[in-house]
Every structure is written in structure tokens, then in C-alpha cells.
Chains A and B, each alone.
Chain A
Amino acid sequence: MMASTHVARRGHALARPSRRRPGEGLRALLWLSPWIAGVTVFFVYPLLSTVYFSFHRYDLFTLEFIGLDNYRYAFSDPRVLQSALNTLWLVVFMVPAQVVFALGVAQLLAKLKSGGGILRTIFYLPSLVPMVAGTVAFVYLLNPATGPVNQLLAWFGIAGPDWFGSAAWAKPTLTLLALWGAGNTIMIFLAALLDVPRHLYEAAAIDGAGAWRQFRSITLPTISPVLMFSAVTGVIYAVQYFTQAMIASRVASGATDSAGTTFTPGYPDGSLLTLPQHLFHTGFRDWSMGLACVHALLLFAVAMLFTLILLRQFGKAEVTS
């Protein structure tokens, strides 16, 4: 039995409301003041400022108002479209793949009668491996020339793909890396699955419901809030996806990012160029900061859109369950 399930149960015993005491608002304000300062400086101000800079040309030295030019340029830049589509790909394919895979593994772990403890550790550990280390390792393992994976495949007579070297395979390969690092989600799902009351399954079995029916009618509805939460966090993560894509491009192409070298992000063929990466290169390598702010606002819109869609679904799920 995991200690964690106690934490989950305690979640239901919500605090009772008490009467408002005079001065409580002021005292709360006092405790909140550092955070309020933080929100103003690191959230509200930069958001407004991003809008302001998006109408300007700015390269750290000269600031010039140019109206909608940045917007015109961004929307005719094929790399903006490409990077937005890449980010969209991650949201549409990588996130669902990770959720379904994690749910499958968690379901398997929940059913095991023995050996669960060590297996849990094995599935969890890769999620702790630093992102850069995990990505560098995957680029090596999947290196088409000498990498072990394609050699193992060759023993079975399978010609392995070019993985990170092929525009068609690069994003699916990053998805494999994401599945390998899904340990967090697996543990969250496992705790939720172990919390589903046993007697519901027993009653369903007496009524003659098969495994699939039980899963659909009991498991899914009971754990849907946790699924939804994972989907929301997964989407937030996918929208900001940066490190793994950048490292994979860089190590697979053999490029550095140091002075004097030019690094074209998104190798191969821009297939790994995500929106945050394009923004980073525009703003902090080419120093076109006004243009980068247009990318930032686009990224903001994408993040808002997906978060709102998911939160609405979340709201519906809460009502029905």
C-alpha cells in the first residue's frame, strides 16, 4: 500500500468555512505581498510590455515604432507556420500518446500480484533523468550508424529508420523519449487506480461485466479528474516544449551554439523547430526582440486556447461525475 493514497483521501476532507473576521483581508494582503510584487514584475508587466514591443523594432540598442510590420513579417514567415505546426503536432500526438501509454502501464502495475515495487521504481526512474542527459543518450542509442538500437533491429532483419536524422521520424522519436520519461504520469495514474473502490468491480463482475466494460464504466469515470489534470499539464508542457527538441537537433546535426558558428535550429529540415525555439532564436540569437514578441503573443494565444478547451472539458467531467 502506498502512503500516497492517504494524501489523496485527505483531499476530500475540505476545510469548513468559518466566519470572516475583521482585518483578515489586510492580514492576508500582508502575507501575499511578496507574491503580489512578483506577479506584477514577472507576469503583468512583461505581458503588457510584450504587446508594446511587438509594435517596435528593438535590438537592445535602438527602439523604433513600426506599427504592424512585425506582425506582417511573422505571418508571412514560413518558419512561423512550420514551428506552430510542429508545436501543434506535439499537442495532438505526443500528449495523447503519453497519457494512453501511462494509463496502460499503470493499469498493468495495479493488476500485478508481485514484483510491483521494483517495477514501479524501474518505470519511475527514467523520468528523473535530466532532460539534456536523456536526449543526448537517445541520440546516441538511435544513431543510425553505430547506435545499439538499429543493430538490435538488424539482428531481427529489420532495417531501422534514421530516427533523429529524418524529418519524418524526428518527432515520433521524441515521442518515444517522452514515453520513456512518463514515470510521473504513471505514478499519478497508479495512485488513482488503486483508489477506485474494489466493491464497484465486484458488483460489476456479478452483473456479468467483462474487463473492457468494467474499465469503461467504472475505472474511466472514477479517475477522469486525474486524467484531465494530466492532459492539461501535458498540453502546457507540450506548448513550451523546447529543451529536448533543441538538444536533439543540435547533437544529431553535430552543431554547436558557440560564437562564430551558425546553428540552424530544428534539424532535420526544421522538423524539430518548435514555436518556443523559433522565438528564442529570433529574440536571443538574432536579437530581433520586437519580432520575437509577436511570436510570444502567438505562443500565448496557443497556450490559452488549449488550456481553455481542456478546462471546459474538465468542468463538464466534474459535473457529470
Chain B
Amino acid sequence: MWVAQHSLAIALALMFLGPVAFVTLTALMTDEQALTSRLWPEQWNWANFADVFARSELLTWTLNTFLYASLATVFMLVSSIPAAYALSRFRFRGRKAAFLVVISAMMLPPQVVAVPIYLVWARLDLTDSLWPLILPMLFGDAFSIFLLRQFLITIPRDYTDAAKVDGCSDARILFRVILPMARPAIAAVALFSFFYCWNDYYGPLLYAGVDQEGWTLSLGLATFKAFHSVQWNLTMAATLLVTAPVIIVFLFAQRVFIEGVTLTGVKG
């Protein structure tokens, strides 16, 4: 039984690692070999990675993606924490209804409202930039509000009640009591937001325009194959380069991730 379970687990793990292994091997092949069916590089062509930088706007795309992801995340935190605070700590009429609106906004496919929102940004002359993806984050993000609220309701009222007795204002309670206790949830929500933006393809496809200077990594990688059509090795090298930062961040912030992921699974 023990052996069976372990061999099954290891076999599955190999299948999960397989794609990464073959992508890496291909990324290191020469142009000619990548077109053949030989799987092991006969010559380790490390220059492929440098080639990717030389032949595409990868650096610009990385910078754009980083700006988009970090600005959106900071804006999201500034706007979503107060909303989650109100929804979890204040008793008022319409609180249930407000929470239902959060859930419905979270469930709404973004494509449903795309046309009117696009027209608003077009009127403001902000299409052909990433601002239509960043600025809305100043007004709260439903998924983040939901997750933060789920965490904040678990903080016992005694803490905030004690602070209230001491005459603390709402803002002071938020900054001095709630925020320090909610640090793991905030870190998780921030990471999710950052990764969501980093990986986002639909948003930039809609707004970033045709000029490659304004693209993100997802847009660039999506067209990479078309511009270097026979060079699977370069495409795979680019794929690895786009993936690497995400994996590095994960290895450093593993605990925050796993805690955050399980937080999403907790029922409301």
C-alpha cells in the first residue's frame, strides 16, 4: 500500500515536471535541432536567452508588466482594505446587500461589461495604454474585498471593542489593531493581485494597443511564435524567461501563498 501510494505520487510528479523539463531542453537547442525530433540538446546553446532579449522588446515588456502589476496592487490595497473593514466591522442597514453586491461583482465575467467600459476609456483618450487596467483599482476590487472581509470577520470583536472603549477613532482602530492582525491576509491578497496582473492577457489585449512598446509580457509572448515561426527554441526560451520571475517570487514567499490559497477555500 505504502509503496503503491508513493510510486503513484512520484509518477504523477514526473508528469507535472515533464513539461518544464522538455521546455528547458528545447530552449537550449540550436535552431536546427529544435526542428528535429531529437530530444536531448547536442549542443547547449545558452546564447538563446540573450537572443530573446536582442530580438524582442522583452525588457520593455517586463518593465510595463511590472509597472502595471505593482501600481494596480498598491491601488487595490488602498481601496479594498477600507471597504473590507467597513463590511466586516460596522453594523449598518444594507450590509448584507452590500456583501451580495461584492459577490455578484466577483462572479461577473469581465467580458460582459467590456463594451461600455471600453467606450468610457476611449472617450477619456486612455485606450492604447495600460491605465484602463490600473485606475479602476482605486475603486476597490471585488475579489480582494471578499477575501479580506472573510479574514477580518475572524478577528474577535474584543480587540476592537477594547480600542473603542479607549476612545480610538475608526481610522486608528484600522491602522493600529486591524492591519497588524490582518497582515497574512493582506500579503496574500497583494500577491494574488500582483500575479493576476502579471499573467493577465485579456486586459492588455483589449487596451494596450498595437505598438509593441506598450505591451506586457503576456502580449509579447503570445505573438512571439508568430514572429519567430520556425524557432521553437527561442519561443521556449522566452517562455522560461517570462515564467522565471513568478517562480522566484514564489520560492521566497511560499508560506504567504499556501496560507492565502487555503484562505480562498474557507467558506463564508
Residues of A participating in the B interface, judged by any CB pair closer than 8 Å? 2-5, 7-8, 10-11, 13-18, 20-21, 24-25, 27-29, 31-32, 34-35, 37-39, 41-43, 45-47, 49-50, 53, 60, 105, 108-109, 111-113, 115, 119, 121-126, 128-133, 136-141, 143, 146, 148, 151, 180, 184, 187-189, 191-192, 225-226, 229-230, 233, 236, 239-240, 242-243, 246-247, 250-251, 254-259, 276, 279-280, 283-284, 289, 292-293, 296-297, 299-300, 303, 307
Contacts and interface: CB of A to CB of B under 8 A. Distances in A.
Contact of B242 (A130, A138, A297): A130
B35 A146 contact: yes
Interface in B55-109: 79-80, 82-83, 85-88, 90-93, 95, 98, 101, 105-109
B5 A125 contact: no
A130 B246 contact: yes
Contact of B262 (A7, A31, A126, A243): A7
B79 A230 contact: no
Contacts of A17: 91
A296 B115 contact: yes
A4 B82 contact: no
Interface of B: 2, 5-6, 8-9, 12-13, 16-20, 22-23, 26, 34-37, 39, 79-80, 82-83, 85-88, 90-93, 95, 98, 101, 105-120, 122, 136, 138-140, 145, 150-151, 153-157, 161, 170, 184, 195, 198-199, 201-202, 205-206, 210, 217-218, 221-227, 229, 232, 235-236, 239, 242-243, 246-247, 250, 254-255, 257-259, 261-267
Contacts of B170: 27, 31
Give the most central of B13, B120, B265: most A CB within 10 Å: B265
Given A133-B243, A146-B35, A247-B222, A299 B112 contact: yes
Contact of B118 (A119, A143, A284): A284
A15 B119 CA distance: 43
Specify the main secondary structure of chain B where it touches its partner.
Answer: helix
Nearest to A177: B19
A2 B235 contact: no
A13 B266 CA distance: 13
A29 B91 CA distance: 11
Given A32-B83, A133-B221, A46 B116 contact: yes
Contact of A187 (B117, B227, B261): B261
Contacts, number: 301
A59 B35 CA distance: 44
Contacts of A31: 82-83, 85-86, 90, 170
A299 B111 contact: yes
A233 to B, nearest CB: 8
Q: Which 4 A-B pairs have the closest CB atoms?
A: A38-B139, A188-B265, A35-B140, A46-B113
A15 B109 contact: no
